[in-house]
Amino acid sequence: MANLKQLSEKLGLSQTTISRALNGYPEVSEATRRRVIEAAREHDYEPNSSARRLATGKSRTIGHVVPISHHDMINPHFTDFIAGAGAVYNRRGYDMLISVVDSAQEAATYRALKRNGRVDGIIVHAPIVRDPRPAMLRKLGLPFVVHGRTLDDEASYAWVDVNNCRAFREATQHLIGLGHRRIALVNGLEHMAFAQRRREGYESALREAGIAVDGTLMSSDEMIEPAGYEAMRRFLALAEPPTAVLCASALSALGVMGAAREDNLLPGTGISIICYDDCLSFLDIGPDGMGLTVMRSAIREAGEHCASMLIDRIEGRQTAGRILLEAKLIEGRSTARCRPAPGRRAAHKAPATPG
Amino acid sequence: MANLKQLSEKLGLSQTTISRALNGYPEVSEATRRRVIEAAREHDYEPNSSARRLATGKSRTIGHVVPISHHDMINPHFTDFIAGAGAVYNRRGYDMLISVVDSAQEAATYRALKRNGRVDGIIVHAPIVRDPRPAMLRKLGLPFVVHGRTLDDEASYAWVDVNNCRAFREATQHLIGLGHRRIALVNGLEHMAFAQRRREGYESALREAGIAVDGTLMSSDEMIEPAGYEAMRRFLALAEPPTAVLCASALSALGVMGAAREDNLLPGTGISIICYDDCLSFLDIGPDGMGLTVMRSAIREAGEHCASMLIDRIEGRQTAGRILLEAKLIEGRSTARCRPAPGRRAAHKAPATPG
DNA sequence: TGCATTATCCAAAGCCCTTTGAGCGGGTGT
DNA sequence: ACACCCGCTCAAAGGGCTTTGGATAATGCA
């Protein structure tokens, strides 16, 4: 059974009644409703989605615009975020539209999505320090929720974020408490707002403890394995290398550990490592998995929150405009009391050795 | 400017003419077309997508149904596949619809997508050995392309796959050529067709070389880090552990190397490793990155092929019904000639030590 | 019994576009 | 001069749904 009309003829009811019965309106008797629902199931009828969209003016679709970086890379944390958001969309009857676009096209894509009504709302990913997107989307009149928040005007839009500043502050304090004073930070790209906040937390903890902030102990790059490796190589080549490292992502931690190992530094004995743990489903770095000490907050949950909040706003429901999640510090076996530096092995300049 | 009617009034032309001008039909003079296009840009007009879909009966949308496994996990290789497919969609004016559903809902989801016309076609992910989806989608009349192929009826539908059998055969032969005879396989889940083929390739190479296939040297699990770790622990606890390992994914390789390291086995010296490399953008395990010897075929390209092929079919264009990509063996520093087994260190039974 | 509700259901308008079938003026061929 | 075709444009008919504004029958109340 393809369409309403046919079903209405079969049932001897008007299209109106059927539509109402199916959509739960009260103007139809329960008996009729049951009859209609039964017939719909039997004849495998479901309203055509384009027609319904046209009639209602709602697309019941949420857009995610994913800019491809110069590396042709999609942020790997995206998968788990999507898993969370997607589950909510599914539950609440929304579709997820993903636009993979060149970074330069991002603004144009939002405009297009609005112009031709393909989406009811947008999730904004990876906000940078001063991000033009919130203002732009507001002007477009497209509902949106930001995953993360910008540094300048966080009060002016809805967001879901982790308290990154606090997380990195506490992690740093934890290391300081263990006696470490040479603490390195392998950060994400610092034009990203969250990375900025993480550094802020890290630096404030150092300052509080009277430890000078040392630029050579900080790196900022894509949060992927190779970047972590390179950063750690650099740290280890310093005259006075760090005894502890703070890592912004499980992926970079892999690289960091790889580089450390080349100098025979094992986490927990040779070097202390704390890593931010998004609970990537394909990589368990925490105590139950690879055993690292982590600051943990599941990115999948952030995805769920973003999706719920956005749908609530689209449907005009009341909602908290912002959610600040707290990461939890979970001790693993990668952190230990700082020991006086042993005789160091020379840092190889040779290319990476596997393992 | 919101809609066609308004624009037509403004221009003093009929809606027909404007529609045709914008859609490139020949019945409209070039002068008029230019005028219309100019006006459309100026007034920021673009046809409403729902209306257009309704009128044409096409959604210009491709669906990806992503079942969430029991681990609440989305296959991490998905990200890069999506990056490839998404770029093609974008270029050719299609939308990407992603449905994150419980595995049990998958079939129902396809039916629903078809029933209410939300998609013009489907990409089928991760086919299992005998997969009901091709037959089902064919019956539904929903165009589709399979990423990979089933074992039973690969001739009956369109697919894009890697020659997994050949890849693993060659990799195994390579190791045999280096003198290895105890070669382990850390495979993906073997109800997946591709994993089955990989094992086939591996076993056939062994048999050809007169090496007995040993079930204790094979594992089959999710292709993620923890699974690789566990598998390798098991291998290393054997009376006669492997001297070489074949790995189905970069993620499992991480786990494998982690476990190996705990026994002081380093890739290339203590143990030989060849890993299948999908070119995950966030993890470069190949010679230029972590240095492993790999069989390489970019999953992103598979995504591009799938997307192109599907769109071609939807639009009635002629197309090769199947594409078999060949993985390339690239030597890194993780493979070496087999040396007589040294005195082995005891395999710890303790829980994983980080590093 | 009579009037006002209430409970059900319906016809038709509207959402915005594409596409069919036609019309109209001007140029061509003969 | 006639018929014919071509190039350009248009009115109108869908496409399948939701929703407005009634209509009709059944019920409540006096």
Q: Please answer whether residues B76 and A79 qualify as being in contact, where contact means their C-beta atoms are separated by less than 8 angstroms.
A: yes
Question: Per the CB < 8 Å rule, is A79 touching B80?
Answer: no
pLDDT reported for residue A25: 87
Question: Per the CB < 8 Å rule, is B266 touching A225?
Answer: no
Question: Per the CB < 8 Å rule, is B100 touching A78?
Answer: no
Mean pLDDT of A135-140: 95
B110/B23 Cα distance (integer angstroms)? 31
The CATH number covering residue A67 comes to 3.40.50.2300
Q: In this predicted model, what pLDDT tens digit does every residue of B105-155 receive, in sequence order?
A: 999 999 999 998 999 999 999 999 999 999 999 999 999 999 999 998 889
Same domain, yes or no, for B153 and B112? yes
Alpha-carbon gap: A5 to the closest alpha carbon of chain B (Å): 15
Report the nucleotide nearest the CA of residue A33, measured to C1'.
C8
B251/B267 Cα distance (integer angstroms)? 15
Report the nucleotide nearest the CA of residue A8, measured to C1'.
C10
Q: Between the CA of residue B30 and those of A8, A19, A177, B8, what are the distances in Å?
A: 46, 45, 75, 17
Q: The tokens of A47 are what?
A: 């309203």
Burial class (CB in 10 A: 0-12, 13-18, 19+), A57: exposed
Tally Cβ neighbours within 10 Å of residue A324. 13
Same domain, yes or no, for B183 and B95? no
Alpha-carbon gap: B99 to the closest alpha carbon of chain A (Å): 7
| Residue numbers in A near B50 (CB within 8 A) | 50, 53-54, 59, 117
Q: Please answer whether residues B154 and B131 qualify as being in contact, where contact means their C-beta atoms are separated by less than 8 angstroms.
A: no
Q: Between the CA of residue A142 and those of A60, A107, A120, A250, A311, what are the distances in Å?
A: 13, 13, 7, 34, 12
Mean pLDDT of B321-335: 97
Closest in A78, A258, A290 to B352, CB measured: A290
Q: The tokens of A168 are what?
A: 């990195």
Asked if the structure places residue A134 within a domain, the reply is yes
Q: State the number of CA atoms in the 13 A half-sphere of B146 facing the CB.
A: 31
pLDDT reported for residue A341: 57
Same domain, yes or no, for A100 and A218? no
Same domain, yes or no, for B247 and B152? no
B167/A20 Cα distance (integer angstroms)? 57
Report the nucleotide nearest the CA of residue B8, measured to C1'.
D10
| Residue numbers in A near B280 (CB within 8 A) | 76
**Mean of the per-residue pLDDT values of chain B:** 91
Q: Tell me, what DSSP letter sits at residue B179? A: T
Same domain, yes or no, for B32 and B74? no
Q: Nearest chain B Cα to A259, which residue? A: B290
**Among the listed ranges A222-236, B66-80, B302-316, which one has the minimum average pLDDT value?**
B66-80
Range of the domain at A265: 164-298
Same domain, yes or no, for B132 and B228? no
A101/A69 Cα distance (integer angstroms)? 9
Confidence bin at B1 (pLDDT 50/70/90): low
The CATH number covering residue B37 comes to 1.10.260.40
Asked if the structure places residue B29 within a domain, the reply is yes
Q: In this predicted model, what pLDDT tens digit does every residue of B260-290 receive, in sequence order?
A: 988 989 999 999 999 999 999 888 999 998 8
Q: Please answer whether residues B85 and B147 qualify as being in contact, where contact means their C-beta atoms are separated by less than 8 angstroms.
A: no
Same domain, yes or no, for A294 and A304? no
Nearest to A143 by CA among A314, A303, A319: A314
Asked if the structure places residue B352 within a domain, the reply is no
Q: The tokens of B349 are what?
A: 């039974």
Same domain, yes or no, for A232 and A276? yes
Number of inter-chain CB pairs under 8 A, A vs B: 215
| Residue numbers in B near A251 (CB within 8 A) | 282-283
Nearest to B235 by CA among B226, B245, B223: B245
Confidence bin at B73 (pLDDT 50/70/90): confident
B1/B22 Cα distance (integer angstroms)? 15
| Residue numbers in B near A230 (CB within 8 A) | none
Same domain, yes or no, for B214 and B136? no
Structurally, how many domains does chain B consist of?
Answer: 3
Strand B95-102 to A244-247 pairing: unpaired
pLDDT reported for residue B29: 86
Q: In this predicted model, what pLDDT tens digit does every residue of A213-230 receive, in sequence order?
A: 999 999 999 999 889 999
pLDDT reported for residue B239: 96
Asked if the structure places residue A24 within a domain, the reply is yes
A74/A84 Cα distance (integer angstroms)? 17
pLDDT reported for residue B344: 43
Residue A3 beta carbon within 7 A of nucleic strand D: yes
Same domain, yes or no, for B158 and B304? yes
Q: Please answer whether residues A268 and A334 qualify as being in contact, where contact means their C-beta atoms are separated by less than 8 angstroms.
A: yes
Tally Cβ neighbours within 10 Å of residue B44. 11
Asked if the structure places residue B135 within a domain, the reply is yes
Asked if the structure places residue B331 within a domain, the reply is no
Q: Which of A152-158's residues contact partners 24+ apart within 8 Å by CB, and which partners?
A: A154/A322, A157/A321, A158/A309, A158/A310, A158/A313, A158/A319, A158/A321, A158/A322
Q: Between the CA of residue A66 and those of A104, A125, A144, A290, A315, what are the distances in Å?
A: 11, 8, 15, 30, 24
| Residue numbers in B near A334 (CB within 8 A) | 354-355
Residues of B from 30 to 49 whose C-beta is within 7 A of strand C: which are they?
45, 47-48
Amino acid at B331: E
- Torsion angles phi and psi, residue B40, rounded to 5: -60, -45
Residue B264 beta carbon within 7 A of nucleic strand C: no
Same domain, yes or no, for A272 and A173? yes
Nearest to A89 by CA among A121, A135, A125: A121
Asked if the structure places residue A70 within a domain, the reply is yes
A228/A256 Cα distance (integer angstroms)? 5
Report the nucleotide nearest the CA of residue B29, measured to C1'.
D8
Q: Tell me, what DSSP letter sits at residue B192? A: B
Residue A347, pLDDT above cutoff 70:
no
Burial class (CB in 10 A: 0-12, 13-18, 19+), B160: buried
**Mean of the per-residue pLDDT values of chain A:** 91
Contacts of A124 (CB under 8 A, 6+ apart): A131, A133, A134, A137, A144, A145, A146, A147
Contacts of A275 (CB under 8 A, 6+ apart): A246, A247, A248, A249, A250, A252, A253, A285, A292, A293, A294, A295, A334
Q: CA–C1' span, A40 to C13, in Å?
A: 25
Residue A308, pLDDT above cutoff 80:
yes
A277/A248 Cα distance (integer angstroms)? 8
Same domain, yes or no, for B153 and B179? no
B291/B36 Cα distance (integer angstroms)? 57
Asked if the structure places residue A338 within a domain, the reply is no
Calculate what percentage of chain B has a pLDDT beyond 70. 95
Closest in B49, B87, B115 to A44, CB measured: B115
